[in-house]
Amino acid sequence: MKKEKMTELEKVGRETVVFMRGKYCLDEAGDGDNELKFKQGKKTVLTIYIHEDKYTFLIIFGKVERGMFETVKDEFSQYIQSYYDSSKTYHDGKWMFIDVTTLEVLEEIKKLIMLKKKPNRKPFPKESAVYARCGMRCDLCVHYSGGTISDEKRGELKKRVDRIYYGGIENSYDLCPGCSQQLVGKPHPCMGGDSCKQLKCANEKGFLACTDCPGYQSCRPVAGYELLESRSMLADDVTWAILPYVPYQYGN
């Protein structure tokens, strides 16, 4: 069945996690309902409240951040400026609750977040990168048998992957030499014995790899998440159990 086109709000949710996880190495603390915090230690960088018809971003600007914003205020839309001007200032800073429903507003929110905190995500080196045909990093994958992952590291990766995808339930993992060593349509160990759906799609369109398809950037298959969720995750678990499976998260 063909997947229905994503709504604008769904795109906002997806691009939010791609941005936050791609730019920042932060713990995520969700209440399991509608609240998600991105934190470094005890300090909250961003809080998001998830609603059916919108996302509400809470960004708190201290004195330094307010000074930085004032110097570039005219670069922001009246929508953002009005939130800034009307937000109350408490002892710990100006609390801005900003409703977001469009990608256009999200782009401005990204700039506010980067004023709040400089990106701290350090990408993995690209020199030894091994890419699957869908753009994912084989050399960082728990299944990869190409020799770049030690047994000790694979054991650590298994625990992280189990926490993210299986709720801490221990699973066994078959090894995979990488799809460059396998025929399109052949069962892949990392797919649980099933054929890789991404490569099957590419093959049906006449391409050897997903990255050869003109529609690849708009398709962007993302493992681990599609929408914003109120889940709790450790920063290192995101680094090792999610980002290697996001196509070209670490560059090509």
Q: How far apart are CA 141 and CA 148, in angstroms?
A: 10
- Cα 251 to Cα 19, 125, 130, 182, 246: the distances in Å are 14, 9, 11, 23, 10
Residue predicted with more confidence, 117 or 131: 117
Residues 142, 111 share a domain: no
**What percent of the chain stands above pLDDT 90?**
51
- For 15-50, the pLDDT digits (tens) are 898 899 989 999 999 999 999 999 999 999 999 999
Q: Under a CB-based contact definition with an 8 Å cutoff, are residues 13 and 227 in contact? A: yes
Which residues is 39 bridged to in the sheet? Answer: 27, 44
- For 153-207, the pLDDT digits (tens) are 999 999 999 998 887 777 877 777 777 655 455 555 554 445 567 777 877 888 8
Q: How high is the pLDDT of residue 1?
A: 36
Q: Which among 116, 149, 175 is the end of a domain?
A: 116
Q: Under a CB-based contact definition with an 8 Å cutoff, are residues 130 and 138 in contact? A: yes
Q: How far apart are CA 100 and CA 12, in angstroms?
A: 8
* Strand arrangement, sheet containing 93-100: 27-30, 35-40, 43-50, 55-61, 93-100, 89-90
Residues 160, 110 share a domain: no
Q: How high is the pLDDT of residue 28?
A: 96
Residues 158, 112 share a domain: no
pLDDT band at 236 (very low <50, low <70, confident <90, very high): very high
Q: How far apart are CA 110 and CA 100, in angstroms?
A: 11
Helix (H), strand (E) counts: the chain: 8, 6
Q: Show the CA angle centred on residue 112, arms to residues 108 and 114, nearest 5°.
A: 115
How is 106-118 classified by DSSP, letter by letter? HHHHHHHHHHHS-
Residues 145, 76 share a domain: no
Q: How high is the pLDDT of residue 248?
A: 63
Least confident of 77-81, 83-87, 115-119, 145-149: 145-149
Q: Which domain holds residue 66?
A: 8-116
Q: Is residue 129 part of a domain?
A: no
Residue predicted with more confidence, 144 or 1: 144
